[in-house]
Copies of this chain bind each other. A is one copy, B any other.
C-alpha cells in the first residue's frame, strides 16, 4: 500500500480495531473522520519506515482519553490538526511526516486525518504495534525519545503545551488536561527524527491493519472463518469463544476501566473467561487462571463477522471469540515489561501468552 485512498479506509478501520485490543477508540469514528478528510484533501501518501529520510521531522498525532467518551463527543477534522499546529512554534524544524502513536482503533485513523489536512506523508509504522492506554507506553520511550514538547487540544479551542521531565510526567499532566477537557482530546507528541523513528517504531502497522481488514472481508465473502484468518496472520491463537454474560465498566481517572465476563459455548472446553481492561484488555483469565496478559494482544472478535468488538461496545449476549497475538518482542524485554507488563497495571503476574 503506497497511499491511503477512500477505498482503503474500511479495511484499515477493520484491521485497526483488531490491533486496538479492545481499546484505541471506536474505529468507525476514525473512519468517518478520515473519509471526510481524504474526500476534502485527497489520498494520503504512505511512507515505508525504511524509506524515511534520516533527518525527517516526524510527529505523532493521536486522540487521548476514554473510549467510552469518544463515542459521544466526536472530534472535528479541524481539531485534529490544531494539536499539531500548536506544537509548530516549539519544533526547531518544520514537520515533514506524521506518524501513528498506536496501531489500533481510532488512533490508526486520526493520523490519516492529520496527514491529509496538513498535506504531509504518513509513516507506515506506529509506536506500539498495538494500542496501550498511557502516553509513555510506546517503544520510543525505550529508546530515549521524549514525549514532550507535546500539545493537547480540545474542540472548544483550549490548547496546552507540555514540557515534562520524563514521559511518565507527560502522561500525568496530559491526563489531567484531557480530563478537564471532557475526557477526550487531540494530542501531538513524540517529535522525532527519521533516524529515531526507524530505530524505535514498529514497521508496516498501517499496511498490516489494511491487510487484516482485507482478510476479514475476503473470509466473509468466501464463507470461511474470519477469526481463523486473523489468528493465522498474527501468529496467535484462539483462547475462547463464548457469550458475553456481564460487563462492568466505569469511566474513572480518564480511562474506561472494567471487566467483561464470557460464558463458554458448546464448542469450547472452558467454562468462564474474564477480561480485565483499562481502555485496552490487560488480562484474560479462563476459570480463574491468567491465559494471556499484556504486553501481548488480547482481542475480542465477533464470532461470525470477525469484526473486532471494542470494550465500550461489549454488550450482554454478544458471541465473541477472544484471541491472543504476540506483541513486538521489544515489549518482552525487562524495560518493555516495566513500561507495560502486567505488574505495571497492578496484576501480580508474570506475562502469560508469549511463550506458548
- Name, among A89, A156, A160, A165, the residue most crowded by chain B CB atoms within 10 Å (CB to CB): A160
The size of the chain A interface, using a CB distance under 8 A, is: 20
Q: Which residues of B contact A120 (CB under 8 A)?
A: none
Interface residue from B89, B156, B159, B176 paired with A180 (Cβ < 8 Å): B176
A164 within 8 A of B: yes
State how many copies of this chain the complex holds: 2
A163–B176 CA distance with the chains assembled, in angstroms:
15
A244–B176 CA distance with the chains assembled, in angstroms:
38
Interface residue from B90, B159, B176 paired with A176 (Cβ < 8 Å): B176
Mark contacts of A152-181 with chain B using CB atoms, 8 A cut-off: 1 yes-contact digit, 0 otherwise: 000011111111110001001100110110
Query: Could you list some 29 contacts between A and B, CB below 8 A?
Result: A86-B163, A89-B89, A156-B165, A156-B169, A157-B165, A158-B162, A158-B163, A158-B164, A158-B165, A158-B173, A159-B162, A159-B163, A159-B164, A160-B160, A160-B161, A160-B162, A160-B163, A160-B173, A160-B177, A161-B162, A161-B163, A172-B180, A173-B177, A173-B180, A176-B176, A176-B177, A176-B179, A176-B180, A177-B177
A12–B162 CA distance with the chains assembled, in angstroms:
35
Mark contacts of A76-116 with chain B using CB atoms, 8 A cut-off: 1 yes-contact digit, 0 otherwise: 00000000001001100000000000000000000000000
Q: Is the CB of B158 within 8 A of A161?
A: no
A165–B159 CA distance with the chains assembled, in angstroms:
8
Q: Which residues of B contact A161 (CB under 8 A)?
A: 160-163
Chain A, 130-164, CB within 8 A of any chain B CB: 156-164
How distant is A84 from chain B, measured CB to nearest CB, in Å?
Answer: 14
How distant is A141 from chain B, measured CB to nearest CB, in Å?
Answer: 17
A86's closest neighbor in chain B, by CB?
B163
Q: Which residues of B contact A86 (CB under 8 A)?
A: 163
Beyond A159-B163, A161-B161, A176-B176, list 13 extra A-B contacts (CB 8 Å): A89-B90, A158-B164, A158-B169, A158-B173, A160-B160, A160-B161, A160-B162, A160-B177, A161-B162, A161-B163, A172-B180, A173-B177, A176-B177
Q: Which residues of B contact A177 (CB under 8 A)?
A: 160, 173, 176-177
A169–B180 CA distance with the chains assembled, in angstroms:
9
Mark contacts of A171-210 with chain B using CB atoms, 8 A cut-off: 1 yes-contact digit, 0 otherwise: 0110011011000000000000000000000000000000
A180–B158 CA distance with the chains assembled, in angstroms:
19
Q: Which residues of B contact A180 (CB under 8 A)?
A: 172-173, 176
A165's closest neighbor in chain B, by CB?
B157
Q: Which residues of B contact A165 (CB under 8 A)?
A: 156-158
